[in-house]
Each structure stands twice: as structure tokens, then as C-alpha cells.
Amino acid sequence: MSGDDLNVVIDRVKTVRNTVGPNVDIIMENHSNLNCQSAIQLGNLVKEYGIFFYEEPTTPDPRLNKFVSEHISIPISHGERIYTRWGFAPYFMDNSIQVIQPDIGNTGGLTEAKKICDMAYIYDIGVQAHVCASPLSTAAALHLECAIPNFLIHEHHVYNLHPYNKLLCKYDYQPKDGYISVPELPGLGNELSDYCFENSIKVTVE
């Protein structure tokens, strides 16, 4: 990352902090776009703005993440591209991660995600499920989060606000005043809508 790019990011983080004040948590998303050197430089420069956690500072490689964690002093989160208990285990054992973000849809389903969260609890690691899909993923995440003691924060992605996404399911779970209710309907508490089936590609297996 060039010096100019670093300054742009720092100015934006500073502006956000000055806008929201000292009592609002700021999560800094990096989406694995940084190399280790840039992740360390940036992490140290934004420390003064009270970053709640520093998301995906490196590619999902426990060795790289460990190196970054040893050179910065803000919490690190990872997990939307880490799969199964065995993928998460190295991050737990070397204490290089403070928040996990398992994606229920790609890490093995609700049962596997629950096992990952239970493992994380042993290491005093918080959980923010990765929720970036249809309202089905929102419902699944809410069920997971209400069943674990180390739930930290629920991800409410901008996709959840778009009509094209809301149309995919029968029910629309949205937060109100910072809180969101856990579905109480059967199963996940949501299901694909008629619109979804009518506008999808259908394949018949005989």
C-alpha cells in the first residue's frame, strides 16, 4: 500500500470516528486485500481511533495472521473464508484471533458452525457470524447466535436492505433500534419465496 493510499484510509477512519463520537464501535474491513507489511502499518496507524476489530488483515493463512497479530495491538477478526473446525483450530491455538466470523453456508452448516463457536469459547474468542447472502442466512445466523455464550455482534449487511434480496424469501427480518428478533417459526423461520422459484433456473434430475 502506497503512502497516499495509507493517508486516504487513515483520513476516512479519522472522519468516521469524529462523526460518530467515542461511544460507537468501528469495525475495519480489509477483506484480505493487504499484504502483511501494509496490514501492520495500517493497523498501527489507526490504533488511536479505537478500532473494535480489524477484519481480515491478511489472506486466510494462520501463519500470516500470526505475524500480523504479533506486530499490532488491536483485535483481529477472521473467518468468512475459513472452513470447518480444523481450519479454525490453528488460529485458536496460537491466540492470533479475537473474533471469528464463520459463514454457516460454507463452513459446514449449523452443526459445524456451532462446534466452531464452542471451540472459540474455550479460548475466550467472540463470534460474529458472516451474514452476506439471502434472508435464509440471516435466519440461520440468528439461531446460532442465540445459542452460544460468546456471541458478540450480528452482521447486518447492506444486501439485507435491497428489494432484490428481500424478494428471495417469505419473511424479512430487520433490526429495530439496534435489536433483531430470533425467528420463532418452524425450522429456520424462513423459506424461499414463490418469486425465487419462479425466477430461478430449474433442473430436473430423473
The tens digit of pLDDT for each residue in 31-75 reads: 999 999 999 999 999 999 999 999 999 999 999 999 999 999 999
Mean pLDDT of the chain: 96
**Residue 119, pLDDT score:** 98
| Structural domains in the chain, sorted by start | 3-198 (3.20.20.120)
Question: Which residue reads 464463520 in cell numbers?
Answer: 102
Is the separation of the CB atoms in 132 and 159 below 8 Å? Answer: yes
pTM here is 0.93
pLDDT of 89 over the 90 cut: yes
The CA-based dihedral angle spanning residues 194, 200, 201, 206, taken in that order and rounded to the nearest 10 degrees: -30
| pLDDT-derived band at 3, boundaries 50, 70, 90 | confident
Q: What is the 3-state secondary structure (H, E, C) of 89-106?
A: HHHHHCCCCCEECCCCCC
Please give the average per-residue pLDDT across 111-137, as a whole number: 97
Measured CA to CA, the distance from residue 97 to residue 166 in angstroms comes to 33
Q: Name the CA radius of gyration of the chain, rounded.
A: 19
Alpha helices (H) along 1-156: 3-20, 36-46, 62-69, 84-93, 109-122, 135-145
> Is the confidence at residue 188, as pLDDT, over 90?
yes
* Amino acid at site 190: N
Angle between helices 109-122 and 84-93 in degrees, nearest 10: 10
pLDDT of residue 1 exceeding 90, the answer is no
Q: How far apart are CA 117 and CA 85, in angstroms?
A: 9
Distance between CA atoms of 7 and 2, rounded to whole angstroms?
9
Say if residues 75 and 47 touch (Cβ distance below 8 Å). Answer: no
